[in-house]
Amino acid sequence: MSNPEWKSVGNGHLEGPVPVPDLDPSKLIITRSESLKPIPKPEDLLVFGTIKTDHMLIVSFDPATGWSAPEIKPYGPLSLDPASSCFQYASNLFEGLKAYVGPDGVPRLFRPEKNMARMARSAERLALPPFNPDALLELIKKLVIVDKRWIPNATGYSLYLRPTIIGTRSGPYFRNGTKPISLLASTENVRAWPGGTGSHKLSGNYSPGFLPQRVAIKQGYDQILWLLKDENGSYQVTEAGIMNIFVVVSREDGDLDLITPPLDGTILAGVTRDSVLALANAHTDGKLVLPGIPSNRRLHTHERAFTTADIDHWLTLGRLQEMFSVGTAAILAPVGRVGIKDLKGDIKDLILPSYEDGIGPLSHAMLQMILAIQEGRENFEGWSVRCE
């Protein structure tokens, strides 16, 4: 796999084309340890991963300058910014292969090209920088040669190697402001599934979404609308990117239905999601009045499943008034367009109602009220907690 020419689209993820250097084994720098560790006996190596060799191979990537000169250096800890995406979004991958020593005393690897190809596929799936697998294998061979004294000369023993890529850039967020975003409904990938970890704030839930997001950007959309196929073959709406999703549907009596998917184990129980539901109920119960929303206009909250077909149907009837996503980082982002693929793979754009300021009245009311509470200009249910 040769290195495509890419440019950064955020979080260290790439989109082509601009030329950047690939891995180059000819630039390898070797700094040998001045204090070699004692080699343990094979029978003392029964606990996997507890004993490390003298050296490690390091190479870094920058979207502007490409892959750095590789370096084999004494084994030691890494220095990483706490905001690195590897900690927040689990944008990491690894491989596992072993080095053996032959009767001729020469180190050897078992089918390493398979590991390199799989590592390249893993990097592509997480939208991490591409690399030349042949070049990486050449560098791994160099590391094995430097540390070949660590390969046990006994049948059934080997030196375990774990090539690893970690993402170090900060994470992706929706843009701020009230300009409507566009979503591409994804039928090829899922964010979460029944029995999975979607309801938990786990790093591993996020990095698999980087590649679908890149695909969405290529097709002219800001983010992914995550779907989940139900037992009837319909596509239920779950979340939008890394945010919860709401729709506002008008009723015949003039009130509004505020609908969000239920916490069924696939949906993250977002704090902002819960706040929107609570504020809507408080408005209806007369405990507060949302700015710009008449006090006698009731907001009926629903935590229930709805599908892309429902969105299309509500739009056809002229009942779908607003759609917005919510989360801690951006607070609230109005949705202006949703792209849905048909059976042929063609995309049909569902266009939501537009508003002068780019944001609908209920979306605007929610955003203003949440900001007022967060900034201490309003007091509601003790949500704004003083630090003193």
pLDDT digits (tens, 9 = 90+) for 199-232: 999 999 999 999 999 999 999 999 999 999 998 9
What tokens does 304 get? 């229930």
- Which tens digits make up the pLDDT trace of 297-353? 999 999 999 999 999 999 999 999 999 999 999 999 999 999 998 878 899 999 999
Q: Which CATH architecture has domain 7-166?
A: 2-Layer Sandwich (3.30)
The mean of the pLDDT values for the chain is 92
Do the Cβ atoms of 244 and 277 come closer than 8 Å? no
Backbone angles phi, psi at 303, to 5 degrees: -105, 90
pLDDT of residue 237: 98
Mean pLDDT, to the nearest integer, of 5-25?
Answer: 60
- Which tens digits make up the pLDDT trace of 288-301? 999 999 999 999 99
pTM of the predicted structure, to 2 decimals: 0.89
Instruction: Please give the Cα distance from 359 to 323 (Å, whole number).
Output: 9
Higher pLDDT, 233 or 263: 263
Mean pLDDT, to the nearest integer, of 126-138?
Answer: 96
pLDDT of residue 18: 45
Rounded alpha-carbon distances, angstroms, from residue 158 to 140, 187, 252, 325: 15, 43, 73, 51
Mean pLDDT, to the nearest integer, of 355-366?
Answer: 96
Domain 181-374 has CATH 3.40.50.300: no
pLDDT of residue 171: 59
Q: Report strand pairing: 159-161 vs 97-101.
A: antiparallel
Q: Is the pLDDT of residue 4 over 50?
A: no
- Which tens digits make up the pLDDT trace of 160-183? 999 999 999 875 555 556 799 999
Domain with CATH 3.20.10.10 in the chain: 181-374
Mean pLDDT, to the nearest integer, of 259-280?
Answer: 98
